[in-house]
Amino acid sequence: MQAKKSLSNISKNKALWIAQWKQESFERDIRSGLNAAMQQGIAQGIQQGIAQGLQQGIAQEKIATARAMLADGISAVQIAKWTGLTPEEIANL
């Protein structure tokens, strides 16, 4: 009942109706902009996560390869040359 009364009062007062319409339009635009920004942020986060995951996978594979090469008696110098790992990284394996 209160909502009906408020609607009736707003409908009678053109200036109040316009102000209400502008406020609702503003709020809708803000929500729309926030939603778009959030979606863009999520997409960027996913892309960054994929890139980081690939880099970590490559690094882990280099380490696994270096360990296998060490187990086969290949020198640290050759392992560094073939894997791109530093001699210090190889020594820490």
Domain boundaries, the chain: 15-91
The reported pLDDT for the residue numbered 4 is 65
* 8-37 residue pLDDT tens: 666 667 777 788 888 888 888 888 888 899
In order, the DSSP letters of 46-86 are HHHHHHHHHHHHHHHHHHHHHHHHHHTT--HHHHHHHH---
* 29-42 residue pLDDT tens: 888 888 899 999 99
Instruction: For residue 14, give both structure tokens.
Output: 């053109």
Q: Whole-model pTM? A: 0.58
Q: Is the pLDDT of residue 61 over 70?
A: yes
